[in-house]
Amino acid sequence: MRKLLLYIIILTTGLIFLARVFYLQVIDTSLALRSQDNAIEINYDYPQRGYIYDRNGELMVSNQPSYDVMVIPRNLKPFDTLEFSKILNITPDELGKKLDKAKIYSPLLPSVIIPQLTKSEYAFLQEKMRKYEGFYIQKRSLRDYQVDHSANVLGYIAQVNKQIIKDNPYYISGDLIGRSGVESVYEELLRGVKGVKYIQKDRFNRDIGPYKDGIFDTLPEKGKDINITIDSKLQEYGEKLMQNKRGGIVALEPATGEILALVTAPSYDPSLLVGRKRSPNYTRLYYDSIARPLYDRGLLAEYPPGSPFKTLNALIALQEDVVSTEDEFYCNNGYSYGRGRRMGCHAHSSPVDMIPGISTSCNSYFANVYRRIIEKYPSPQEGIDAWKNHLSSFGLGQFMGNDLSTGRPGKVPDSDYYNKIYNYPTYKWYSTATLSNAIGQGEVLMTPIQLANMTATIANRGWYYTPHILKEIEGEPIKEDKFTVKNHTTIEPRHFEPVVEGMHQVYINGTARSLQVPGIEIAGKTGTAENFTKIDGKRVQLTDHSIFVAFAPVDNPKIALAVFVENGYWGSRYAGRIASLMVEKYIKGEITRTDMEKWILENSLEDEYAKPLSGEPFTINQ
Amino acid sequence: MAKSITGYDWTTILIFLLLVGFGWANIYSASLGVNTGNLLDLNQVYGRQGLWIVLSFFILIIVLSIEPKFYQRFSSVIYIISLLSLAGLFVFGKTIAGQTAWYVMGPVSLQPAEFAKAATALAVAKYVSGIQVNLKEFEHQLKVFVIISLPVLLVMMQPDAGSAMVYFAFIFPLYREGLHFAYLLLGFFAAILFVATLAFGIPWVIGGILAIGGLMFLRNRKRRPNILKYLFLMTVAIGFSLSVNYVFENVFKQHHRDRFNIVLGKEVDSRGIGYNTNQSEIAIGSGGWFGKGWTEGTQTKGHFVPEQHTDYIFSTVGEEWGFLGSSFVIFLFVLLLVRLLYLAERQRSQFSRVYGYSVIGIIFMHFLVNIGMVIGIFPTVGIPLPFFSYGGSGLWAFTILLFIFIKLDAERISYI
């Protein structure tokens, strides 16, 4: 025993040590992480965000320097909080809360204490910062808007939130990220890549050189400058025309699918969402639930398309070979069908064939055409699905696959949809049950950009490029297949000519004859869409939406657009005028019909929008 | 010199060389500054350690050249010289960081406490191997106790509690030579009671003593135990616990208390007093299986672990060589100790055996306290890792301590 005891003690000690070392080095992995935090400091070098130009090279967005007061909680030394909070112009309480938050986020990574100082605040603070260890000023670049329009197109940048940091390891607290519009879709192009330097620290937190001689360090990569397809002047003009109104304008270049203008009204000045005032301004815009300035109507609003949709029915009928352009239909101020049901129409000469059918927007004509399409097939189900198939080839009823930050698919009903609502096969349904589709008032819903794209497709006589907003990266045109390969519709090109002619006639002797632009041949279509709201749970009809689609010139289309004015009454009243002015502005560069421009600028629909909110009884369509 | 070179225990010498060599490699890494000189640069810690190592080779050759009889015959003289050198500190010594532990002669500083361990080992061996000495007799126990206590007292007065603690090592040779097991047990229970008092506080410890005492009494009650004996033992235990508490609160300095509190898990402030242990654990833990590679340790480079080239050198091993390296070092020490135990047992002379056991005890205490401290399972007590830590005095003292025994072992046949 006396000989053995020491053996036992020595071996036991050795085993205990091995176990402990094994625990520290192999089992407890948290220590390895702490060592990284401890000894290695990561410094970031933020590159300039790329500039945004319009299609003509006009600078829309550049940068301005901005300075954030940052903290690394681990490096904090005790300091006079009262004095420091006075310098930062916040209360000691706020400072304490911010510091607590920073500690919770990470004791070792930087957190923002005061974001986005002005230059003068920065100059004042810079001298005093030295005294407060652990705090420093991080220079970043903020957006500097050269234009006061296009807010919905450009989007804005803001500090990343916790969720983004969690989802994308590239970002750390305080980083800026594009949050909507072009800024968000092309975030990675615009932001570039931040550079990283790993610095070996000693225990006094002094730099003692690059970690592993800098083999993990990276240089920052500058953000790329981009040209977007927007025509800044046209966009600005569109927003001006839409003042005091609600709605949207989407203008496309038919030959390329490029978006020339994407107007939503009401909108706001993009400079409102820059810097320290971003947050209160954003909150104000966000909570304006009546005008909804952050809601991009050009992309998100799904409306019944109204009469412009008739052009598609005409095309489908020709392709399905159920009517010829010469087939005439009578109209007796409307169309009667079923048991005493009737679709009204306005006064015009009768009978009409296709071209006057389109230019006078005859409901009876299209009711007949639509029934022929559906009834060509043995069952209405097959008819509807064939009809839908054609519409899908125009990109309707689905997301367009464009490069915009937001969008809606719209709606094109199919047989399943009607089977469900009419409870098939218990009850049967026939083409007349879906007759509103003939005139764009039924279950079909389209967004203004879909309407514009439909117009561009007609202008191109049968094909379209997916609408897109990015034109060039650092001067190089984009090469993405999605935007450079034509989408062909199911309609043969030869069937487009009569429809184009019908739309041309709209301007010559149809619903838009008062909107002609001297020297420019325009094709267009008016539209009026009934709409309803709920007041105290009751369905109440409001003044019709004013809709207009157009493209010009007829033979060599440069622009195709859709205009949508909420509660603007009939198509040519607001939307038609605006479309006509937009076409003239884009093609001629100037406006000759100043009285029409004046009328649009001076007339406001605010009274109309106030009606349903007034709580008083009101009349519509005045 | 020995009759032939094969007489020396080359296993031990090999382990010695490995420890010294690997130690130097780690000191090099731990002391690497921004501006690195050449390997022999005496302005650098690693350069000086290189010199100490070279000098230690000369010292070991001298130690091996001396006849074993010399060590036995002159052990008392060596012991007395050693005591005088410790006492002389209070007249001629230099006070560094609150400890009067150094003789400074120009560029050379010596720490006599390091050498005193070897001297005491010789003195104990000499006394215990005396023909008439019997460790079962109280008088002889007392005399050995005095031999050991004198250097302890002098070292304590510097004050250097760490070095003083090492003298507990002599319990091992004494036990081997016949000291009653009760002393060992007593020491063991005292240590447990000591830690328990500090960790759980007086009320719990007293409660525990009463509960255990009561239970044992009830279990043995059929044998009609003497209740007074139980009461006496429990009173002694409680008295001890109370006095520990008193000593801890009133005699210990705050930094001693802090060091115990860290290890007992009472303090978690990583920037405060737990800093050393915490940083040391981080460094070791970050090494993983294979370590970050020699001179690649980020904690070591950043000098996060204080005193890393001296007392905390094992943390460099842990960080840069990983579990592989740290288990290698632990293995080397265990191997060395076991080998020395084997050697000690084959000695024919009691003097050699007692001396051998003392060497083992001393190296073991350093191994236990140092690595235990660095890996956070023992209070922070500043004593070096033998052959490994930076420091001339320490290296030389351990070289002398070890090689006297190697010499004794080599001559075990001719010398009785």
pLDDT band at A44 (very low <50, low <70, confident <90, very high): confident
Q: How far apart are CA A117 and CA A110, in angstroms?
A: 17
A151 found inside a domain:
yes
Three-state secondary structure readout of A481-533: HHHHCCEECCCCHHHHHHHHHHHHHHHHCCCCHHHCECCECCEEEEEEEEEEE
Stated as kind and residue range, the H or E segment containing A258 is strand A258-265
| Cβ pair B338:A13 closer than 8 A | no
pLDDT band at B199 (very low <50, low <70, confident <90, very high): low
Chain A residues 180-209 with a CB less than 8 Å from chain B:
200-203, 208-209
pLDDT at B272 over 70: no
Question: Do residue A268 and residue A376 come from a single domain?
Answer: yes
End-to-end CA distance of chain B: 17
Q: How far apart are CA A147 and CA A157, in angstroms?
A: 16
| Residues in chain A closer than 8 A to B286 (CB atoms) | 31-32, 34-36
Q: Which of A322, A363, A69, A43 is nearest to A210 (CA)?
A: A43
Stated as kind and residue range, the H or E segment containing B397 is helix B392-410
| Cβ pair A35:B371 closer than 8 A | no
**A220-248: average pLDDT:** 92
Instruction: Assess contact for A600 and A577: CB atoms under 8 A.
Output: yes
Instruction: Assess contact for A179 and A156: CB atoms under 8 A.
Output: yes
Identity of the residue in A24, A26, A34 whose CB atom sits nearest the CB atom of B375: A24
Chain A residues 42-81 with a CB less than 8 Å from chain B:
none
- Residue A203 is predicted with a pLDDT of 66
A618 found inside a domain:
no
Question: Do residue A480 and residue A519 come from a single domain?
Answer: yes
**B325-332: average pLDDT:** 95
Instruction: Assess contact for B167 and B152: CB atoms under 8 A.
Output: yes
| Cβ pair A25:B176 closer than 8 A | no
Q: Which of A226, A244, A259 is the last residue of a domain?
A: A226
pLDDT band at B270 (very low <50, low <70, confident <90, very high): very low
Integer angstrom CA distances of residue A265 from A61, A238, A427, A546, A588: 21, 9, 44, 14, 24
Instruction: Encode pLDDT of A544-582 as tens digits.
Output: 888 999 998 999 999 999 999 988 887 778 899 999 999
Q: How far apart are CA A228 and CA A50, in angstroms?
A: 12
Question: Do residue A508 and residue A401 come from a single domain?
Answer: yes
Question: Do residue A404 and residue A384 come from a single domain?
Answer: yes
Identity of the residue in A14, A21, A40 whose CB atom sits nearest the CB atom of B334: A14
Q: Is A467 left (phi over 0), alpha (psi -120 to 50) or beta?
A: beta
- Residue A10 is predicted with a pLDDT of 93
Instruction: Assess contact for A55 and A81: CB atoms under 8 A.
Output: no
Distance from the Cα of residue A530 to its chain's centroid:
25
Residues in Cβ contact with B372 at an 8 Å cutoff, skipping those fewer than 6 apart: A17, B378
Domain span holding position A181: 42-226
| Residues in chain B closer than 8 A to A28 (CB atoms) | 285
Q: How far apart are CA A416 and CA A393, in angstroms?
A: 19
The string of DSSP letters for A336-359 reads EETTTEEEE-----SSB-HHHHHH
Backbone angles phi, psi at B144, to 5 degrees: -60, -40
A615 found inside a domain:
no
Q: Which of A177, A196, A226 is the last residue of a domain?
A: A226
Question: Do residue A468 and residue A500 come from a single domain?
Answer: yes
| Cβ pair B282:A31 closer than 8 A | yes
pLDDT at B226 over 80: no
pLDDT band at B331 (very low <50, low <70, confident <90, very high): very high
| Cβ pair A20:B330 closer than 8 A | no
Q: Burial letters for A489-521: b for 16+ Cβ neighbours within 10 Å, e otherwise?
A: bbbeeebbebbbbbbbbbbeebbbeebebeebe
Distance of residue B143 Cα from the nearest chain A Cα, in angstroms: 22
Question: Do residue A442 and residue A530 come from a single domain?
Answer: yes
Which amino acid type is present at position B361? G
Q: Which of B295, B308, B313 is nearest to B388 (CA)?
A: B313
Between A1 and B346, the higher pLDDT residue: B346
Q: How many CA atoms lie within 13 A of A459 on its CB side?
A: 33
Identity of the residue in B284, B298, B327 whose CB atom sits nearest the CB atom of A200: B298
End-to-end CA distance of chain A: 114
CATH number at residue A372: 3.40.710.10
pLDDT band at B1 (very low <50, low <70, confident <90, very high): very low
Cβ–Cβ pairs < 8 A, chains A and B: 121
Name the pairing type of β-strands A226-228 and A52-53.
parallel
DSSP state, residue A66: E
Highest-confidence segment of A120-134, A331-345, A544-558, B225-239: A544-558
| Cβ pair A24:B284 closer than 8 A | yes
Instruction: Assess contact for A75 and A133: CB atoms under 8 A.
Output: yes
The string of DSSP letters for A165-186 reads HHH-TT--TT-EEE-SHHHHHT
Chain B residues 125-184 with a CB less than 8 Å from chain A:
172, 175-176, 178, 184
| Cβ pair B304:A203 closer than 8 A | yes
Highest-confidence segment of A186-200, A429-443, A548-562, B83-97: A548-562
Q: What integer best gives the mean pLDDT of chain B? A: 85
Question: Do residue A311 and residue A242 come from a single domain?
Answer: yes
| Cβ pair B345:A5 closer than 8 A | no
Q: How far apart are CA A281 and CA A260, in angstroms?
A: 28
| Residues in chain B closer than 8 A to A205 (CB atoms) | none
Q: Which of A327, A317, A378 is nearest to A351 (CA)?
A: A327
| Residues in chain B closer than 8 A to A74 (CB atoms) | none
pLDDT band at B35 (very low <50, low <70, confident <90, very high): low
Highest-confidence segment of A106-115, A371-380, B118-127: B118-127
Name the pairing type of β-strands A195-201 and A207-210.
antiparallel
Instruction: Assess contact for A468 and A399: CB atoms under 8 A.
Output: no
Distance of residue A43 Cα from the nearest chain B Cα, in angstroms: 17
Q: Which of A447, A419, A577 is nearest to A512 (CA)?
A: A577
Instruction: Encode pLDDT of B176-196 as tens digits.
Output: 998 888 888 877 777 777 767
Backbone angles phi, psi at B41, to 5 degrees: -60, 115
Question: Do residue A328 and residue A206 come from a single domain?
Answer: no
Q: Chain A: residue nearest B288 by CA?
A: A25
DSSP state, residue A575: I
Question: Do residue A195 and residue A341 come from a single domain?
Answer: no
pLDDT band at A130 (very low <50, low <70, confident <90, very high): confident
pLDDT at B271 over 60: no
**B277-289: average pLDDT:** 84
pLDDT at B269 over 60: no
Instruction: Assess contact for A559 and A539: CB atoms under 8 A.
Output: no
Q: How far apart are CA A364 and CA B68, in angstroms?
A: 129
Q: Which of A164, A81, A157, A74 is nearest to A111 (CA)?
A: A74
pLDDT band at B260 (very low <50, low <70, confident <90, very high): low
Mutate which: A2, A13, A24, A28, vs B, most B CBs within 10 A: A24
A31 found inside a domain:
no
Q: How far apart are CA A55 and CA A230, in angstroms?
A: 6
pLDDT band at B382 (very low <50, low <70, confident <90, very high): confident
pLDDT band at A31 (very low <50, low <70, confident <90, very high): low
Identity of the residue in A10, A34, A201 whose CB atom sits nearest the CB atom of B282: A34
Q: Which of A200, A226, A252 is the last residue of a domain?
A: A226
CATH number at residue A49: 3.90.1310.10
Q: Which residue has tokens 């500054």?
A: B33
Integer angstrom CA distances of residue A258 from A163, A295, A308, A472, B155: 33, 22, 21, 11, 89
Could you tell me which residues are beta bridge partners of residue A207? A201
Q: How far apart are CA A267 and CA A286, in angstroms?
A: 12
Mutate which: B286, B296, B362, B368, vs A, most A CBs within 10 A: B286
Instruction: Assess contact for A373 and A383: CB atoms under 8 A.
Output: yes
pLDDT at A260 over 90: yes
| Cβ pair B304:A7 closer than 8 A | no
| Residue B228 in tokens | 């007074």
Could you tell me which residues are beta bridge partners of residue A560? A252, A551
Q: Examine residue A351 and say whether the peptide bond preceding it is cis (omega within 30 degrees of 0).
A: yes
| Residues in chain A closer than 8 A to B326 (CB atoms) | 21, 25
| Cβ pair B288:A25 closer than 8 A | yes
pLDDT at A26 over 80: yes
Which amino acid type is present at position B71? Y
Distance of residue A198 Cα from the nearest chain B Cα, in angstroms: 12
pLDDT at B353 over 80: yes
Question: Do residue A210 and residue A248 come from a single domain?
Answer: no
Angle subtended at Cα B364 by Cα B362 and Cα B369, rounded to the nearest 5 degrees? 100
- Residue B259 is predicted with a pLDDT of 61
Instruction: Assess contact for A401 and A481: CB atoms under 8 A.
Output: no
What total of structural domains would you count in chain A? 2
Distance of residue A29 Cα from the nearest chain B Cα, in angstroms: 7
| Residues in chain B closer than 8 A to A73 (CB atoms) | none
**B79-98: average pLDDT:** 88
Assess A599–B contact: CB distance below 8 Å, yes or no.
Answer: no
| Cβ pair A25:B284 closer than 8 A | yes
Instruction: Encode pLDDT of A56-86 as tens digits.
Output: 999 999 988 888 888 888 778 888 888 888 8
Chain A residues 212-271 with a CB less than 8 Å from chain B:
212
Between A509 and B119, the higher pLDDT residue: B119
| Cβ pair A26:B338 closer than 8 A | no
- Residue B16 is predicted with a pLDDT of 96
Q: Any idea which of A262-276, A338-352, B81-95, B185-199 has the lowest mean pLDDT?
A: B185-199
Between B273 and A163, the higher pLDDT residue: A163
A620 found inside a domain:
no
Highest-confidence segment of A432-446, A600-614, B49-63, B170-184: B49-63
A150 found inside a domain:
yes
Q: Which of B362, B381, B166, B343 is nearest to B263 (CA)?
A: B381
Mutate which: A21, A33, A74, vs B, most B CBs within 10 A: A21
pLDDT band at A200 (very low <50, low <70, confident <90, very high): confident
Q: Examine residue A493 and say whether the peptide bond preceding it is cis (omega within 30 degrees of 0).
A: no
Assess A24–B contact: CB distance below 8 Å, yes or no.
Answer: yes
Chain A residues 366-385 with a CB less than 8 Å from chain B:
none
Instruction: Encode pLDDT of A464-484 as tens digits.
Output: 999 999 999 998 998 888 898
- Residue B2 is predicted with a pLDDT of 46
Distance of residue B288 Cα from the nearest chain A Cα, in angstroms: 5
| Residues in chain A closer than 8 A to B176 (CB atoms) | 2-3, 6
Q: How far apart are CA B107 and CA B390, in angstroms?
A: 16
- Residue B355 is predicted with a pLDDT of 96
Of all residues in chain B, what percent carry a pLDDT higher than 70? 89
Question: Do residue A240 and residue A195 come from a single domain?
Answer: no
Of all residues in chain B, what percent carry a pLDDT higher than 90? 40
Instruction: Assess contact for A550 and A523: CB atoms under 8 A.
Output: yes
Chain B residues 235-294 with a CB less than 8 Å from chain A:
279, 281-289
Q: Which of B401, B402, B408, B404 is nearest to B117 (CA)?
A: B401
Which amino acid type is present at position B217? F
| Cβ pair B318:A21 closer than 8 A | yes
pLDDT band at B274 (very low <50, low <70, confident <90, very high): low
Chain B residues 383-402 with a CB less than 8 Å from chain A:
none
pLDDT at B23 over 90: yes
pLDDT at B261 over 70: no
Identity of the residue in B176, B302, B330 whose CB atom sits nearest the CB atom of A39: B302
What count of residues does chain A have?
622
- Residue A391 is predicted with a pLDDT of 93
- Cβ-based neighbour number of residue A427 at 10 Å: 9
A451 found inside a domain:
yes
A5 found inside a domain:
no
Question: Do residue A117 and residue A183 come from a single domain?
Answer: yes
Chain B residues 28-57 with a CB less than 8 Å from chain A:
34
Instruction: Encode pLDDT of A409-448 as tens digits.
Output: 999 998 899 899 888 888 888 888 888 898 988 889 999 9
Assess B302–A contact: CB distance below 8 Å, yes or no.
Answer: yes
Mutate which: A25, A30, A75, A103, vs B, most B CBs within 10 A: A25
Instruction: Assess contact for A16 and B371: CB atoms under 8 A.
Output: no
Q: How far apart are CA B221 and CA B217, in angstroms?
A: 6
**A277-291: average pLDDT:** 83
Q: Which of B154, B168, B162, B170 is nearest to B80 (CA)?
A: B154
Backbone angles phi, psi at A111, to 5 degrees: -125, 155
| Residues in chain A closer than 8 A to B364 (CB atoms) | 6, 9-10, 13
- Residue A35 is predicted with a pLDDT of 60
- Residue A548 is predicted with a pLDDT of 92
Q: Chain A: residue nearest B176 by CA?
A: A2
**B79-105: average pLDDT:** 87
